[in-house]
Amino acid sequence: MNQTMELLLNRKSIRVYEQREISEEVKEALIAATLRAPTAGNLMLYSIIEVKDRAAKETLVRTCDNQPFIARAPLVLLFLADYRRWVDYFTASGVEQLCADEGRSMRRPEEGDLFLACCDALIAAQTSVVAGEALGLGSCYIGDIMENYEEHRDLFSLPRYVFPICLLCFGYPTRQQWERALTRRLAPEYVVFEDRYRRFEPEEHEEMYRDRQQEPVYGQQRSARGAKNLAQLTYTRKFDSDFAREMNRSVRAMLQAWVGD
């Protein structure tokens, strides 16, 4: 099979890494590929912080829902949705005056601009995941970086119009991780539609998740939580979890700071 397809079809999240440094050349190659990611209007509405500081990594373990492997990852990249760079450039380059001459005030980034910047940052992040795989590196997203906005803002000196949308841990996978089975996905008919959106009937939901419900791990988790099915388990473990509540609180706080009064 074509090597790129093989790589894409076999990617999996890697959370245990060999204690092996990632060379500067490999990091440079990873970043070079990342910066070639598509970007809305070629604006590059994102920034990346390499988290090197040990204490900062330890803080992230705690603030990102207690995930110790973050501190053990040889490379940790924080992807930021970033409109600050453009707003500063506008301000430094007479845009306010231009607007005043036309009798209006300079528009500030709004919700749509934030979504666009998040798209840019996530597309860059996923490009780095694929580049990492091509360079022999495994990776894992940390979505919990959207929690604790105020603490992350202070930790990384993030100004207004900068939001940490995802964190990526990279490292050379241990053999055991490399050999782990792929996780399941929904069959294409449940995800890819023709011409219009499709909702599903209860029996179809049952069929959709039948193979996942049969996995021993789900059986164990279900009985531990007293859930009757995967929907109840997912609701209690993820959707209605403390971390989901904190993420929503944190994103609301960021949105308030982003949009302002």
Ligand X SMILES: Cc1cc2nc3c(=O)[nH]c(=O)nc-3n(C[C@H](O)[C@H](O)[C@H](O)COP(=O)(O)O)c2cc1C
Q: How far is the CB of 104 from ligand X (least distance, A)?
A: 38
Rounded to an integer, what distance in angstroms lies between the CA atom of residue 61 and that of residue 100? Answer: 47
Q: How far is the CB of 171 from ligand X (least distance, A)?
A: 13
Element (H, E) at 96: helix 95-101
Q: How far is the CB of 69 from ligand X (least distance, A)?
A: 7
Report the residue number whose CB is nearest to ligand X: 143
Tokens 């050379």, located at residue: 172
Q: How many CB atoms lie within 10 A of CB 33?
A: 17
Q: How far is the CB of 182 from ligand X (least distance, A)?
A: 6
Q: How far is the CB of 111 from ligand X (least distance, A)?
A: 20
Closest CB to ligand X among residues 120, 144: 144
Instruction: Provide DSSP, 172-241.
Output: PBPHHHHTSPPPP---GGGT--SSS-----HHHHHHHTHHHHTSHHHHHHHHHHT-SSHHHHHIIIIITS
Closest CB to ligand X among residues 129, 158: 129
Closest CB to ligand X among residues 15, 87: 15
Contact 150, 105 (CB under 8 A): no
Residues binding ligand X (CB under 6 A): 12-13, 15, 67, 140-144, 166, 183
Q: How far is the CB of 12 from ligand X (least distance, A)?
A: 4
Closest CB to ligand X among residues 67, 229: 67
Rounded to an integer, what distance in angstroms lies between the CA atom of residue 201 and that of residue 107? Answer: 45
Phi and psi torsions of 25, nearest 5°: -60, -45
Closest CB to ligand X among residues 136, 143: 143
Closest CB to ligand X among residues 183, 214: 183
Rounded to an integer, what distance in angstroms lies between the CA atom of residue 72 and that of residue 66? Answer: 13
